[in-house]
Amino acid sequence: MRRSQYVDGARWVLVLVSLLLVMFPFYWMLNTSLKPASEIFLSPPTFISSNWSLDAYVTVLTERPFARYFLNSLVVTLGTTVLSVTLAAFAAYGFTRFFPRGATPFVVFLLFTKMLPETLLIIPYFQLMASVGLLNSYLALILAYSSFALPFSVWMLIGFFRSIPRDIDEAAKIDGASYLQTFFLVILPLARPGLVAVTLFTFLIAWNSYLWALVLTTDASMHVLSVGVANMVGEYSVQWNELMAAAVIAAVPVMLLFSFLEKHLVNAITSGAVKG
């Protein structure tokens, strides 16, 4: 009895320490964003300040075009997510239902492309987008991000769709459903955990991506949040509280999305199978 109490206690300490290590950077980011500039490098540092205010946020949103950056990020990310998830879902349905032998070779081929370092593709992508007149457009970023998100998305959804028994498709066919009706009314709802996982993954890739936004958008009005935040690191000085405020603004949508969809993500990771 006593031994298990010590073990439990040790476990709790380990969990709390890990939590502290993970949460501290976020806490410090928030803390710094709320402090005035004069307090940022105080020694000893202040963990809770009576001077906390939203001044840095107001400055970021009014004196810099962060609202525009936020909108750009939102459009590009939502566009990428919708396009990738749609294409991946159709690809997974097609391969698992109509061409099952082709599924594995196709996935291997797709995942092969992930072996290419992204920096290798900068010039070809730039030339490609420039040649079709897509530079400085939302579509350029949406297409580029989708090309990176799709391999993993297709691979993951093929796994999920494979676990849905074919009997269910046949039952739907006998009930009178066409292939598309079966896809939308039967298969997609059953693949929800997988779709959620793919949505979150794609959202993260698109929201956080910095390199491609930097390369494919040169016009300041088309910058996304990641570029906007990076640009706040000045050549001679950095307004750290404003930088942290911008980072918090960039992090909030992802946190909100995860909090809403977290249970589906856990479902996706732990089960990944549907029993008919």
Partner 1 sequence: MASIRFNNIDKRFGKTQVIHNVSFEIEDGEFVVLVGPSGCGKSTLLRMLAGLEEINGGEIAIDGKVINDLDSKDRDIAMVFQSYALYPHMTVRENMAFSLKLRKADAALTNQRVGDAARILNMEPLLERYPRELSGGQRQRVAMGRAIVRDPKVFLFDEPLSNLDAKLRVAMRAEIKTLHQRLKTTTVYVTHDQIEAMTMADRIVVMRDGHIEQIGTPLQLFDRPVNQFVAQFIGSPSMNLIEGRLTRSKGGNFVDALGTRWPVGVVGSVEDGQRVVYGIRPTDMRIGEGKTGIQGQVVVVEPTGSETEIVMDIGGQNLVAVHPGRTGAMPNLTVGISVDASSGHVFDHATGVRLN
Q: Could you list the residues that contact partner 1 (CB under 8 A)?
A: 165, 167-168, 170-177, 181, 185-186, 189-190, 274-276
Token duo for residue 118: 């992204």
Smallest gap from residue 170 Cβ to partner 1 (A): 5
Smallest gap from residue 274 Cβ to partner 1 (A): 6
Helices (H), 192-239: 192-208, 211-216, 225-231
Query: Closer to partner 1 at the Cβ: 188 or 257?
Result: 188
Whole-number Å distance between alpha carbons of 20 and 43:
21
Smallest gap from residue 93 Cβ to partner 1 (A): 16
Query: Closer to partner 1 at the Cβ: 29 or 177?
Result: 177
> If we measure between CA atoms, which residue out of 125, 115, 84 comes closest to residue 211?
125
Query: Closer to partner 1 at the Cβ: 61 or 188?
Result: 188
Query: Closer to partner 1 at the Cβ: 167 or 219?
Result: 167
What region does 85 belong to: left with phi over 0, alpha with psi -120 to 50, or beta? Answer: alpha
How many Cα atoms are found within 13 Å in the side-chain-facing hemisphere of 154? 29
Smallest gap from residue 99 Cβ to partner 1 (A): 16
Whole-number Å distance between alpha carbons of 177 and 25:
52
